[in-house]
Amino acid sequence: MLTNRSRSTSLSIQCLPNLVIIGAMKCGTTSLHQYLDLHPQIHMSGLKELDFFVREKNWRRGINWYQSHFTKIADVVGESSPNYTKHPLFTGIPERMHQIIPKAKLIYLVRDPVSRVVSHYLHQYINRAEHRDLNEALADLSNNNYITSSCYAMQLEQFLPYYPLKQILLVSLEELSHSPLNTLQRVFRFLEVDPTFEHPAFSQVFHQSSDKQRLTNLGAMLFHVPTGGRLLKVLPHLMAQPVPPPKLNQSLRERLIEVLKCDVERLQALTGDSFSQWSL
Per-residue pLDDT band for 2 (boundaries 50, 70, 90) equals very low
pLDDT in tens, 214-250: 666 666 665 566 665 666 666 666 556 777 888 899 9
User: Rounded mean pLDDT of the chain?
Assistant: 89
Q: Which amino acid is at 47?
A: L
Residue 169 bridge partners (DSSP):
107
Cα dist from 204 to 34, 52, 196, 211, whole Å: 10, 28, 18, 17
Q: Which amino acid is at 263?
A: D
Report whether pLDDT(108) > 80.
Answer: yes
Res 227: pLDDT: 62
Residue 20 bridge partners (DSSP):
79, 106
Res 10: pLDDT: 38
Res 174: pLDDT: 97
Res 224: pLDDT: 62
Note whether 240 and 75 are within 8 A (CB). Answer: no
Res 243: pLDDT: 79
Sign of CA dihedral 98, 38, 177, 192: positive
pLDDT in tens, 183-226: 999 999 999 999 999 999 998 777 655 557 766 666 666 556 66
pLDDT in tens, 145-179: 999 999 999 999 999 999 999 999 999 999 999 99
Tell me which CATH homologous superfamily contains domain 2-112+151-207+265-271: P-loop containing nucleotide triphosphate hydrolases (3.40.50.300)
Residue that wins the pLDDT comparison between 106 and 225: 106
Sign of CA dihedral 34, 36, 42, 47: negative
Report whether pLDDT(255) > 50.
Answer: yes
Query: What residue ranges do the domains of the chain occupy?
Result: 2-112+151-207+265-271, 209-248
